[in-house]
Amino acid sequence: MKRAAVTGGAGFIGSAVVREGLAAGWSVTVLDDLSTGYRQNLPDEPRLRLIEGDIRDRAAVDAALEGAEAVFHLAASVGNVRSIENPGRDSEVNVLGTLEVLEGMRRRGVRRLVVSSSAAIFGEPRRLPIDEDHPVEPDSPYGVSKLAAEKHCLCYGRLHGWQVAALRYFNVYGTNQRYDAYGNVIPIFAARLLKGEPLVIYGDGEQTRDFVNVEDVARSNWRALESGVSGRFNVGSGTATTINRLAALIQACSGRAVAMRHEPARRGEVRHSVADPAAIRERLGYPPGVDLKDGLARYLAWMALDPLSAAGGTAS
């Protein structure tokens, strides 16, 4: 039976990648330190093995890669604000941790890699929508570290003749995404909405984001692996949504109305962002299938029942 290793596989996006792989008939080994991931995110499945460990730990990486035919590398320190507050840890995990994974692959003879990158590598866009050839000028240490990690992965692919696909996620949301004050706007809005608290928007709310459902992101990971192609691919919906529009839409989906509060814009965050998904659609046959309104309704229903979801927070 084919086996894949998923770093960060107990996390929000990683657990969706794990479920997709199990459904496709693969066995999966998850490497996760459970700092932001949860055992509860993973199904009770005999083909799934969890190794609790850090990607910076060589022994843990080697154990996770044993018998693997492919690696999905999702483990990371995530968030612009968090990286500004602690840039050293951000680079230690995202850059040095990635190098440990790559060296582990080299030692174990694994030649297929799908690495999770980020739209944060682009910085403030010079043109919209953002295609794969858009200049990369990140505005935060997080964006810098993700760009370095992506380049290391693609470099190793060229050096060693590996299949390496770097997927640049835009704003991912969906099941298993819990409230984090540093995190995505959707879980922060949802947590506050469910408590009846005001939705806090940084800036005027006319900044735009490209929201893509985690189910579509998980499918894009497996399509990237199975396609046999290497390269860089933007993973988004191709639709720009303002934060003001999102606030109205999430309230409509929940059937609840709360107050709105604006605060000053935050450092390190771009004004507008939307993906051009043409390359991944043409080369991988990836069509985003989850409409934002439907995805929000499903997410709110899940979050209302999830005992691990904390409430409160602000968003941008």
Could you tell me if 90 and 130 are in contact, meaning their C-beta atoms sit under 8 angstroms apart? no
CA–centroid distance for 212 within its chain = 10
Strand-pairing partners, residue 315, are 201
CA pair distance 121, 138, nearest whole angstrom: 5
Helix (H) or strand (E) holding 115: strand 112-118
202 is catalytic: no
> Residues 142, 156, 169, 179: which is the catalytic one?
142
For residue 159, give the amino acid letter: L
CA pair distance 316, 314, nearest whole angstrom: 7
Question: Cβ neighbours of residue 247 under 8 Å, at least 6 residues apart?
Answer: 189, 199, 201, 205, 260
Cis upstream peptide for 129 (omega within 30°): yes
- The closest of 190, 230, 191 to 311, measured between CA atoms, is 191
Helix (H) or strand (E) holding 245: helix 243-254
CA pair distance 217, 202, nearest whole angstrom: 27
Angle at 90 between CA 87 and CA 95, to 5 degrees: 120
Could you tell me if 166 and 154 are in contact, meaning their C-beta atoms sit under 8 angstroms apart? yes
CA pair distance 262, 69, nearest whole angstrom: 49
For residue 201, give the amino acid letter: I
CA–centroid distance for 164 within its chain = 17
Active site residues: 142
